[in-house]
Amino acid sequence: MEQLPIFLEVKNRPCLVVGGGRVALRKLNHLLASGASAQVIAPEVIDEIQTLADASKITLSLRAFVDEDLDQASLVIAATDNRTLNRTIAGQAKARKLLVNVADQPEDCNFLMPAIIDRSPVVVAVSTGSASPVLARMIRARLESLVPAGYGRLAELCARYRDRVKARFNDQRDRRRFWDRVLQGGVAERVFSGHLEEADQTMERELAIGITDSGKGEVYLVGAGPGDPDLLTFRALRLLQQADVVVYDRLVAKPILAMVRRDARHIYVGKERNHHAMRQEEINALLASLAKEGHRVLRLKGGDPFIFGRGGEEIDTLAAEGIPFQVVPGITAASGCACYGGIPLTHRDYAQSVTFVTGHLKDGSIDLNWPQLAQPHQTLVFYMGLVGLPVIVAKLMEHGVPRDMPIALVQQGTTHMQKVYVGTLTDILAKVEQDPPEPPTLVIVGQVVKLRDKLAWFSANPDPERGATTPILPGD
């Protein structure tokens, strides 16, 4: 370790920035975010710096730097476009035993400004010791996904309860066990989701319970999205790593299951046509039973739990049983498959509304409001519509939808198995018969399908060497 990482208190302390360009502005913003009393000296400055001065957020002197400018400074940043001047400023600052940073001249610095992840009061700093600022920014970008914005709020909660926890538990090991449970359990999740009042209520219960297990777990209903693991939310990814038991559906992609905590128990409850591993009522009861045993239960569903995912039925049971639960939305198949297939669900010239309907057959029929679905200027998305496709096509034409209405089928959308079938109501059945798609397949009906050739540029697995100018039609 060539540098000692420290965090410096600069609140209300005089800090000097010499320079008036973009680099100076970037450094200046860090100082202001830390509460510094900042002065800028430069013959001319960009508009953003002038705006800060006009708002009295900084002191601005439109002139050249002179030695006496260092007299009151406790920290100095040299950010002019003159390397010789920057070096002179750095030498004079060091002679006065001041902290000095010189933009893009690490050899002249006695401290470096890292790439920062600000979740105040939680702050993460990344430095490569000036070897590669670009690499530091790349690492910061990756860490951003692992440190949600809610960590700052969580730290504030910890500060509020710190003294009470210390008084509640005399033994340091007990305090550590308590904080481990709080920071990885229901309190933290409620903070992350913005339910701060509920977080305080849960914290009060945890304090009353102490280090003894409450005997009751919690259920997380999490949308796994349409298949591509990159479409998971940060919150979903975090819960995958915390669950004791995972109850998952048939449509949850294997790469997503691979992200689950390694020692978690897996329970498959998937449903296929004419074959259910477990009836819905049994799934509802299973979730409640596992939570009552004290487990953190991850109910993992393809797409979104509340869009044809029967999540509402499951939380009805949990609420009736007094089981704590949280719902984490996922990208529903309609949005994910349409996007990856290059089909906008709405468009000012073609569709002003979109309707999600289930195409699941029951007793050989699909009981839907066909006159409403036949209205113009809308997009129809049929979930589970592959088996009932002949009925869907016939009913739409029977109720007045033009025979040349575009229709698209997206097979296993957003995955490497994606394939898109495009046709019209009159010819799509023949195309499907020639090359039968594999479930799950989403059906999209509407004029927006015409736009696919123009907009289907995105690939689920883009090749960075190919460049962004070459159209890529996924699954074709």
- pLDDT-derived band at 46, boundaries 50, 70, 90: very high
Question: Which residues participate in the annotated binding site?
Answer: 22-23, 43-44, 226, 302-304, 307, 332-333, 384, 413
Give the class (CATH, top level) of 150-214.
Answer: mainly alpha
Instruction: Please tell me the least confidently modeled range out of 190-204, 358-372, 430-444.
Output: 358-372
Residues of the chain with CATH 3.40.1010.10: 215-331
The residue with greater pLDDT, 148 or 418, is 418
Q: How many CB atoms lie within 10 A of CB 277?
A: 14
Domain 14-113, CATH: 3.40.50.720
CA angle 299, 300, 303 (to 5 degrees): 130
- Percent of the chain clearing pLDDT 70 (strictly above): 92
| Torsional class of 64: left (φ above 0), alpha (ψ -120 to 50), beta (otherwise) | beta
Which of these is catalytic: 174, 200, 244, 271?
A: 271
Per-residue pLDDT at 458 exceeds 80: no
Q: How far is it, in rounded angstroms, from Cα 101 to Cα 81?
A: 14
Sign of CA pseudo-dihedral 29, 31, 33, 37: negative
Domain 215-331, CATH: 3.40.1010.10
Question: Which residues participate in the annotated binding site for NAD(+)?
Answer: 22-23, 43-44
- 């393809």: which residue's tokens? 302
Residues of the chain with CATH 1.10.8: 150-214
Q: CB–CB of 72/98 below 8 Å?
A: no
Tokens (6 digits) for 79: 């950010």
Q: CB–CB of 148/192 below 8 Å?
A: yes
**Residue 271 annotated as catalytic:** yes
Residues of the chain with CATH 3.30.950.10: 334-455
- The pLDDT of residue 273 is 61
Give pLDDT tens digits for 413-425: 999 899 999 999 9
Per-residue pLDDT at 464 exceeds 80: no
**Residue 249 annotated as catalytic:** yes
- Average pLDDT of the chain is 88
- pLDDT-derived band at 270, boundaries 50, 70, 90: confident
Question: Which residues participate in the annotated binding site for S-adenosyl-L-methionine?
Answer: 226, 302-304, 307, 332-333, 384, 413
For residues 88, 90, 94, 96, the Cα torsion angle rounded to the nearest 10 degrees is: 70
Q: How many CB atoms lie within 10 A of CB 20?
A: 24
Distances (CA, A) of 314 to 189, 227, 475: 20, 22, 35
Give the class (CATH, top level) of 334-455.
Answer: alpha beta
Give pLDDT tens digits for 315-341: 999 999 999 898 999 999 999 999 999
Which of these is catalytic: 69, 108, 228, 249?
A: 249
CA angle 460, 463, 466 (to 5 degrees): 130
